[in-house]
Structure 1
């Protein structure tokens, strides 16, 4: 029963972190002075670190949820592939933006594109997010409830939301939060039913 409580708490924690990410993330054209301001902002660091911790918390939540080896391993592999990209985007772009503001050399902001979209990192990032989506799908199939499908939808849409406007990205973060909270509530409800039946 403690394991189920831990799973519920971790799910909610992951949902909150994934909601914080798009809400706090500075949005801009990401070019010139506007891009430098966004990258150099402390909120850039806070938002992206929240996402990274969210992915780690997701792995721990699924382990506690006991949804099967396939979901656990697929999600773990996905997170392992995604985190290096987030690390580069979080810290390298923050330094790039701060340096551009300090020197007034906004042409250096052109380096953001190769940092983000080089072949190796793009493939790792894309494959990682697809693996996480598959893991979430396996979770939904295993728990066999509508709450699980809401949870899975958030991660299936994780890659497409990067091409959406800010308000849709924020809505996506709230979708992940809703799915995580719903699945946590369902997990807790099942625990209560099991406890009552056992008594």
Structure 2
């Protein structure tokens, strides 16, 4: 499943760059959830989610770069599969690489769980409640983020399923967060007028 021919594949680097883009998009999504919670009871919780998402992504990105560019170079330049495998293990499991990777995934798991906690009371007056789509989406995001590390050891089919679950959860949360808080806005407008 993994090895020099896979690392030398022209799609290896773009696939990893899409992963980097996904983590950056997750931070942007959590920032939007935090913005939606501004002034409400969930704002402090949303701040924790954003901090954890940003820290986790910052810790993961160097690893993704090493995996993408380093293993691509190893797969292209080292003919002996055993030597290539040893180099790959040095890139992947060196103490700094493994520690920052694991810490980043733990921070992202925290962010996912905390996003699920933010799904209620996001409006400034507490009138907004996320609908069932946001609740289901937040739970899917939390579960997928907690399972991010274990999915690396799963079959390709399960890894794809994990990505789909995470994507569906993010879309559900995003769609629910886009809806305007009409009732609260109407009450605020009447009170201000």
Q: TM-score, normalised by structure 1?
A: 0.76
Which residue among 99, 109, 129 is the counterpart of 2:105?
129
Give the drift of 1:196. Answer: 7.5
Which residue among 97, 107, 110 is the counterpart of 2:75?
97
Contact 2:136 2:169 in 1 (8 A): no
Give the drift of 1:105. Answer: 3.1
Give the drift of 1:197. Answer: 4.1
- Provide the C-alpha distance between the structure 1 equivalents of 2:185 and 2:111, rounded to a whole number of angstroms: 31
The alignment partner of 2:118 has SS state of: helix
What residue number does 1:7 align with? none
Give the drift of 1:124. Answer: 0.9
Greater Rg by CA: 2
The alignment partner of 1:42 has SS state of: coil
What residue number does 1:20 align with? none
- Provide the C-alpha distance between the structure 2 equivalents of 1:50 and 1:85, rounded to a whole number of angstroms: 14
Give the drift of 1:131. Answer: 0.6
The alignment partner of 1:41 has SS state of: coil
Q: Which one scores higher on RCO, CA 8 angstroms, separation ≥ 6?
A: 1
Q: Which residues in structure 2 correspond to 1:156-195 (within 5 Å)? A: 156-189=146-179, 191=180, 193=182
Q: Deviations over 1:144-182 (max 9, x none)?
A: 323211122111111110111110000000011110111
* RMSD of aligned Cα (Å): 1.9
Q: Which residues in structure 2 correspond to 1:1-199 (within 5 Å)? A: 28=1, 30=2, 35-66=3-34, 68-100=46-78, 104-109=79-84, 110-144=86-120, 145-189=135-179, 191=180, 193=182, 197=186
Give the drift of 1:73. Answer: 0.9
Q: Show structure 2 runs of 5+ residues with no match.
A: 38-45, 121-134
Contact 2:24 2:57 in 1 (8 A): yes
With over 3 angstroms needed to count, the CA separation of the structure-2 counterparts of 1:181 and 1:118, relative to structure 1, is same
- Provide the C-alpha distance between the structure 2 equivalents of 1:56 and 1:86, rounded to a whole number of angstroms: 12
